[in-house]
Amino acid sequence: MQAGKAITESITEANTSRFVTVKDGDTEFRIHCNDTGSGAETVVMLHGSGPGATGWANFNRNVEPLVAAGYRVLLVDCPGWGKSDPVVNTGSRSELNGRVLKGVLDALDIERVHILGNSMGGHSAVAFALANPQRVGKLVLMGGGTGGPSQFVPMRPKASSCSTGCTASRRSRT
C-alpha cells in the first residue's frame, strides 16, 4: 500500500516496499523504504546497526497503530542494510545516513517529519536534525548514545606514568 491509499488491506513488508534513488556527492544510492499511510504528518523510523537490522525488522509492529492514528509512516533501510545499496563509508556514518534521509524526503516531497531512531538510527536522526532543524517536528531517540569516542574504552597509560616495572611485567607476559 502506497501513501495516499486508504487502509483496505493488511499492511505488509511487500505491499509497502519501494525504492528511492538518492544522490550524495558523486555517489548514487538506491534506498529501500516501506511507505504507508496518508496522514498530513509523517513519522520516519531509522533502524539500528545490528545483524539483520532493517526498518521493517525493527519497527513493523509500530506501523499499523501509527497509520491507524492518522500518520504516514516511512521505514528507511540505511545504506548497507536491508535492500538498500551497499556502501563503503570513510566519513561519519551518522552524517551519511542523515544526508541520505534528506535525499529520500526530498524525492518523496516530504517537507517535515517526526523521527524515531534506534541506536545508529538515533545518531543518524540527530545528524539529520542538526543539519535540517526546520524539517524536524519531534525527535525520539532510543539507545543512541552521544556519538564520538566511547567513554568506556580504557585510556592508554602515559609513558611517564609507567615505571620500569610496567615494561618488565609486559615482557613476562609474552
Task: For residue range 109-127, list pLDDT tens digits in order.
Answer: 999 999 999 999 999 999 9
Tens-place pLDDT, residues 37-50:
999 999 999 999 98
pLDDT of amino acid 144: 75
Give which of 88, 114, 119 is closest to 101, Cα–Cα. Answer: 114
Report the percentage of the chain scoring pLDDT > 90: 72
Give me the chain's average pLDDT, please.
86
Domains and CATH numbers, the chain: 13-147 (3.40.50.1820)
Give the pLDDT band of residue 148 (cuts 50, 70, 90).
low
pLDDT digits (tens, 9 = 90+) for 6-38: 455 799 999 999 999 999 999 999 999 999 999
CA dihedral over 111, 44, 72, 70, signed as positive or negative: negative
Query: What's the whole-model pTM score?
Result: 0.79
Residue 33's DSSP bridge partners are 18, 76
Q: How far is 80 from 147, CA to CA, in rounded Å?
A: 19
**Measured distance CA(100)–CA(123) in Å, rounded:** 13
pLDDT value for 169: 44
For residue 165, pLDDT beyond 70: no
Predicted pLDDT of residue 145: 63
Q: pLDDT at position 125, please?
A: 96
The pLDDT confidence band at residue 106, using thresholds 50, 70 and 90, is very high
Q: Given a cut of 80, is residue 94 above it in pLDDT?
A: yes
Confidence of residue 58 (pLDDT cuts 50, 70, 90): very high
